[in-house]
Chain A
Amino acid sequence: AQTVTQSQPEMSVQEAETVTLSCTYDTSESDYYLFWYKQPPSRQMILVIRQEAYKQQNATENRFSVNFQKAAKSFSLKISDSQLGDAAMYFCAPTEQGAQKLVFGQGTRLTINP
């Protein structure tokens, strides 16, 4: 089974600064998707950004962007101009078995300091 590693259990950043959350995985599949989800204290899992593994171009979504290194199996999330509302647990999740399920990392708790 695939393992997803988020090596930073906690991160903190000053409001308006930039922060990068790291993620590595070990899939044996050639075609898959990768997602970053955020989970605020309310527990609702919210999609932040997604990346198709066959695309070389890194995905961006407003203040959120990824650095996808397929050969290194690395998928980091960069948050620019951090806002208080960005505070949450962030989970990296590649798909597995023909994209029929997500495999989640342990999460990174992001704190935004005003």
Chain B
Amino acid sequence: GAGVSQSPRYKVAKRGQDVALRCDPISGHVSLFWYQQALGQGPEFLTYFQNEAQLDKSGLPSDRFFAERPEGSVSTLKIQRTQQEDSAVYLCASRPTVIQETQYFGPGTRLLVL
């Protein structure tokens, strides 16, 4: 079946612009995660959804970052007033249930802020 998809794959933004990154999880997956991966680093947790409920947003670096999953499927990560330090790969992952199972990752969106 189809895996996790993310769009766009690449995004170039001027500093101060708003961006929206989309994640389409595997159909039927309850849990959805966002991670940020800086160049040469491991991914770092941003936020977690169980269906449409955002249960953990402790990893969001500032109030410029906002995520939503209004219908419990597609999720959007929005970054307002982008800064150069926001440049990174943003990874989305989904998981079938809320119990301790494997997270399946999308290909990521590479964001470059100039």
Residue positions of A touching B, CB distance < 8 A: 4, 32-33, 35, 37, 42-47, 50, 52, 91, 93, 95, 97, 99-107
Contact = CB atoms under 8 A, between A and B. Distances in A.
Contact of B107 (A37, A43, A97): A43
Given A43-B89, A45-B91, A107-B42, A102 B103 contact: yes
Nearest to A100: B48
Interface of B: 31, 33, 35, 41-45, 48, 55-56, 59, 89, 91, 93, 99-100, 102-108, 110
A32 B101 CA distance: 11
Contacts, number: 55
B95 to A, nearest CB: 9
B45 A101 contact: yes
Nearest to A102: B103
B107 A44 contact: yes
Contacts of B110: 43
